[in-house]
């Protein structure tokens, strides 16, 4: 079973629209971290945010906001007033205490297309 599910494979919106990217995770750990990374067409991975399992406060950074809800095991990402430069693949990732690697488990990503 997938540990990180990003059900939206591709989303296309017109510039200035708001868009929400969904992320659902699965873990048995009580201590874990969730991440969002952006992968623009150039291919590099850009860190956006990290949230630990004990902090359910929503976070806003400019046009970006994140909604973490443990009750639904979700960590959704909203872009307000989208811009063409937001076009990218966005990955949600999980880091768990168990397993030893402390590596990240990634979802399959959501390809966001912002049309001018």
Partner 1 sequence: NAGVTQTPKFRILKIGQSMTLQCTQDMNHNYMYWYRQDPGMGLKLIYYSVGAGITDKGEVPNGYNVSRSTTEDFPLRLELAAPSQTSVYFCASSYSSSGQGALGREQFFGPGTRLTVL
Residues that bind partner 1 (CB under 8 A): 4, 9, 31-33, 35, 43-45, 47, 50, 52, 91, 93, 95-97, 100-109
- Pick between residue 17 and residue 47 the one whose CB is nearest to partner 1: 47
Among candidate residues 25, 45, 31, the one with its CA nearest the CA of residue 91: 45
- State in angstroms the smallest separation of the CB of 103 from partner 1: 4
d(CA 78, CA 96): 24
- State in angstroms the smallest separation of the CB of 22 from partner 1: 14
- Pick between residue 79 and residue 109 the one whose CB is nearest to partner 1: 109
Among candidate residues 50, 51, 49, 43, the one with its CA nearest the CA of residue 89: 43
- State in angstroms the smallest separation of the CB of 69 from partner 1: 19
Residue 63 DSSP class:
T
With H, G, I as helix, E, B as strand and everything else as coil, classify residue 72. Answer: helix
């Amino acid at each position: 079973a997938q540990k990180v599910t990003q059900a939206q494979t591709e989303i296309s919106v017109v510039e200035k629209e708001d868009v929400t990217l969904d992320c659902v995770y699965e873990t048995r750990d009580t201590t874990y971290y969730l991440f969002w990374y952006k992968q623009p067409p150039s291919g590099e991975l850009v860190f956006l945010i990290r949230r630990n399992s004990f902090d359910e406060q929503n976070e806003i950074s400019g046009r970006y906001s994140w909604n973490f809800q443990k009750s639904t095991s979700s960590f959704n990402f909203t872009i307000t007033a989208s811009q063409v430069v937001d076009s990218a693949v966005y990955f949600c990732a999980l880091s768990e205490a168990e397993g030893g690697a402390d590596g990240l488990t990634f979802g399959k990503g959501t390809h966001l297309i912002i049309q001018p």
